[in-house]
Amino acid sequence: MAKVLVSDPVAAEGVAVLRRAGLEVDIRTGLSKEELIQIIGDYDALAVRSETKVTAEALDAAKNLKIIGRAGVGVDNIDVERATQNGILVVNSPEGNTIAASELTVTLILALARNVPQAAATMKAGEWKRSKFVGVEVYGKTVGVIGLGKIGREVAKRLQGMEMNILAYDPFLSEEQAAKLGVRSVSLEAIYRQADYITVHVPKTKDTAGMIGPAQFEMMKDGVRIINVARGGIIDETALLNALNSGKVAGAAIDVWEQEPVPTDHPLAHHPLVIATPHLGASTEEAQIGVAIDIAEQIVDVMQGRAARAAVNMPSLPADMLSKTAPFLRLAERIGSMQSQLSSTGIVAMDVLYEGDFAQNQIIHITRALMKGLLSPVLASAVNYVNAPALAQQRGIQLTEARREESGNPEYRNLITIRATARSGKSSIISGTVFGASDIRIVSIDGYAVDFKPEGCHIITRHTDRPGIVGRVGTLLGNNGVNIAGMYLGRAMPMGHAVMALSVDSLAAPEVLKELSAMEGMELVRQVEL
Dist. CA 332–CA 369, nearest whole Å: 6
Q: How many C-beta atoms surround the C-beta of residue 376 within 10 A? A: 19
Whether 455 sits among the annotated catalytic residues: the reply is no
Angle at 210 (CA atoms; ends 202, 227), nearest 5 degrees: 55
Whether 279 sits among the annotated catalytic residues: the reply is yes
Dist. CA 287–CA 154, nearest whole Å: 15
Residues 6+ apart with CB under 8 A from 130: none
Q: Is 265 within 8 Å of 241 (Cβ atoms)?
A: no
Dist. CA 392–CA 247, nearest whole Å: 40
Q: Which of 34, 130, 175, 260 is catalytic?
A: 260
Dist. CA 482–CA 489, nearest whole Å: 18
Dist. CA 73–CA 506, nearest whole Å: 29
Q: Which of 114, 271, 279, 413 is catalytic?
A: 279
Residues 6+ apart with CB under 8 A from 175: 185
Q: Which of 70, 231, 368, 395 is catalytic?
A: 231
- Give, as one character, the DSSP assignment of residue 78: B
Cα separation values, 235 from 102, 200, 217, 380, Å:
18, 9, 10, 14
Dist. CA 263–CA 267, nearest whole Å: 9
Whether 458 sits among the annotated catalytic residues: the reply is no
Dist. CA 319–CA 302, nearest whole Å: 14
Backbone angles phi and psi of 525, in degrees to 5: -135, 125
Nearest to 291 by CA among 76, 97, 80, 448: 97
Element (DSSP H or E) covering residue 177: helix 175-181
Which active-site residues does the annotation give?
231, 260, 279
